[in-house]
Amino acid sequence: MTPKKNLLHIITKLELGGAQQNTLYSVERHDRSKYNVFLVAGTEGLLVEDAKRIKDAKIILLPELKHPISPLWDFRCFKKLKALMNAERIDIVHTHSSKAGILGRYAARAARVPVIVHTIHGFSFNDFQGRLKKSVFIALERAAAKFTDALIAVTTADVEKGLKYGVGTKELYSVIHSSIDLDEFSAKYDTAGIRGGLGIKPEEKVAGMIACFKEQKDPVAFVKVAAEVVKAVPDAKFIMVGDGELRGRVEAEIKSNGLSGRVILAGWRKDVAPLLSIFDVLVLTSLWEGLPRVFPQAMAAKKPIVATLVDGAKEALIDGVNGFVCEPKDVKGLAEKVIYLFKNPSEAVKMGLMGSNMAAGWDVNNMVPAIERVYEKVIKSKSL
C-alpha cells in the first residue's frame, strides 16, 4: 500500500470569500485514504470556527499570518511555517491567496518540501495599482513560480494573465474552477419569510451584491448604481451582503444619495443561499477578479447577473444570455441593465434559467478530485 502523503494547505485569512470557501471545501473533502490533511491560516475571519469543525484535519492558526505587509511579522511567519513543515514532514504544500502564496512557497522551498502547488484566486497585481507596487508584485509572483511545481488557476483568464507577465510557463498551469454545492443554491427557500424579515414588501424588486467591502469589489459603485435605479424603479430595494474596510464610505454614499432604508446592509452572513433566493438580480461591481464564486451561486439559484466584465467573469457570464456585462466604473450602464431586468421580469427569468443550465461546470464534487489529480501528476513526474 502506498503511504499517505502529508498535505498542507495555507491561506492568509479565513474571511467569508471564495478563495477561503474553496480552500475549506478542499480540506474537508480530500481523500483521507491518500492524504493526512493540515491547514494553516491566520487567526481572524468568519470561517475560523468552520475550519475548526472539519473532521480528520489538523488546523493551525498563526497570529503572524496577516494581510498587511510587515517585514517583522512576515519573517516570524516564514520561520514558523518552515518549522511546522519540517516537524510534520509535509510532502505537499498547497498555498492560496497572494500573501500566503508567497510566504508559504518560500517556506516550503526552505523546508525542502517535495511538492509545491499554488492556486491563483486572482493575481496580487492589477491595473488599478501604481506602477511600482504592481511591478513589485509581478516580480514576487515570477520568482515564486520558478520553484512551484504546479499552478492552479480558477479561470483561463488568469492563465493568460500569468503568461503575459512571465509568471511561470504554460506547462505549469491547470484550470480548475472554484466550485460550489449546487444543491444548496438550487434549493427552495421561504422567500416570503426572508423578505419579511428584511422589511421588503412582496411587490418590491431586489438587486443584491455579495462581496467584501474592499477596493477590489468597488462597493461604493453599487450604491451609485442603486441611486440611478431608484429614479426609474422607485420601489426597488438593494441588499449588500458583506462588510469590510470601505463600510464607512458605503454608509456615507447611502446617506448622500438619500437611500437610507432602501439599501440594506446585511453584514457578513453565512446564509448566502437563502438570501440570494430573494434577489431579482445579482449585481457585482468588481474592478478585478479571478472568477467570483457568487456567479455560479447565482446561476444555480436561477438569478440573472449584471456585472463588470473583468478577468475571468466572461467564463461564467455571457452578455445577453445569463445576464449583462459593463465596463468597471460604468455606473449608468450597470443601472440601465438592472432597470431593464426589473421592468422585463420574463427576460430576467429566461436569463436565470440559462444560467442554471450552465451551472453544472461548477459542481464541488468535481473540484477536489481534479486538484488531487494535479498532485498525483507532480508526484509521478518526480517519482516520489
Q: Is residue 113 domain-shared with residue 147, that is, in the same domain?
A: yes
Q: Is residue 152 domain-shared with residue 198, that is, in the same domain?
A: no
Cβ-in-10-Å burial (0-12, 13-18, 19+) of 56 comes to: exposed
Q: Is residue 189 domain-shared with residue 128, that is, in the same domain?
A: no
Q: What pLDDT, in 10s, does the model give residues 194-229?
A: 999 999 999 999 999 999 999 999 999 999 999 999
Better-scored residue on pLDDT, 168 or 179: 168
| Residue 205 Cα distances to 278, 294, 299, angstroms | 9, 20, 18
**What domain range is 34 assigned to?**
5-179+363-381
Q: What is the mean pLDDT of residues 158-168?
A: 94
Q: Is residue 216 domain-shared with residue 187, that is, in the same domain?
A: yes
Rounded CA separation 6/1 (Å): 15
What average pLDDT does the structure give for the chain?
94
State the first-to-last Cα distance of the chain, in angstroms, to the nearest integer: 14
Q: Is residue 106 domain-shared with residue 250, that is, in the same domain?
A: no
Is residue 128 predicted with pLDDT exceeding 90? no
Number of domains forming the structure of the chain: 2
Q: Is residue 194 domain-shared with residue 168, that is, in the same domain?
A: no
Q: Is residue 294 domain-shared with residue 159, that is, in the same domain?
A: no
pLDDT of residue 243: 93
Is residue 242 predicted with pLDDT exceeding 70? yes
Cell 475550519, located at residue: 51
Q: Is residue 221 domain-shared with residue 347, that is, in the same domain?
A: yes
pLDDT of residue 1: 66
Q: What is the mean pLDDT of residues 239-268?
A: 96
Is residue 321 predicted with pLDDT exceeding 90? yes
Q: Is residue 143 domain-shared with residue 231, that is, in the same domain?
A: no
Q: What pLDDT, in 10s, does the model give residues 34-93?
A: 999 999 999 988 899 999 999 999 999 999 998 888 889 999 999 999 999 999 999 999
Q: Is residue 209 domain-shared with residue 138, that is, in the same domain?
A: no
Q: What pLDDT, in 10s, does the model give residues 274-295?
A: 999 999 999 999 998 878 889 9
Is residue 360 predicted with pLDDT exceeding 90? no
Nearest residue to 51 (alpha-carbon basis) of 89, 15, 98, 104: 15
Q: Residue 224: which CATH number? A: 3.40.50.2000
Which of 67-81, 250-264, 327-341 comes out lowest in average pLDDT? Answer: 67-81
Contacts of 115 (CB under 8 A, 6+ apart): 91, 92, 93, 149, 150, 375, 378, 379, 382, 384
Q: Is residue 88 domain-shared with residue 200, that is, in the same domain?
A: no
Q: Is residue 251 domain-shared with residue 267, that is, in the same domain?
A: yes
Is residue 130 predicted with pLDDT exceeding 90? no
pLDDT of residue 40: 98
